[in-house]
Structure 1
Amino acid sequence: MKKIPMRKCVATQEQCPKKELLRIVRTPEGTIEVDTTGKLNGRGAYLKKDEAAVELAKKKGSLAKALECTIPDEVYEKIMEVVRG
Structure 2
Amino acid sequence: MRPRKIPQRKCVACQEMMPKKELIRIVRSPQGDIQIDLTGKKPGRGAYLCGKVSCFKLAKKSKAFERALKAPVAPEIYDRLEQDFIKVEDEFQAAKAMAGDDDDDGK
Give unmatched runs, 5+ long, in structure 1.
none
Aligned-partner SS, 2:36? strand
The equivalent residue for 1:79 is: 85
In structure 2, list runs of 5 or more residues that go unmatched: 92-107
Q: TM-score, normalised by structure 2?
A: 0.74
Q: Partner residue of 2:57? A: 55
Q: How many residues align?
A: 85
AA in 2 matched with 1:65: R
Structure 1 stretches of 4+ with a deviation exceeding 2 A read: none
Structure of greater relative contact order (alpha carbons < 8 Å, 6+ residues apart): 1
Q: Counterpart of 1:10?
A: 12
Alignment deviations for residues 39-74 of structure 1 (CA, whole Å, 9 cap, x no partner): 100000100111111111111111122112214111
Overall identity of the aligned pairs, in %: 47
Q: Which has the higher helix share?
A: 2
Distance 1:26 1:32 in 2: 4
Quick check: 1:10–1:45 contact (8 Å CA) kept in 2?
A: yes
Contact kept, 8 Å, 1:25 with 1:42, in 2: the verdict is yes
Shift of 1:35: 0.6
Write the deviation string for residues 1-20 of structure 1: whole angstroms up to 9, x where unpaired.
Answer: 21111001101111011011
Return the TM-score normalized by structure 1.
0.91
Matching residue's letter, 2:88? V
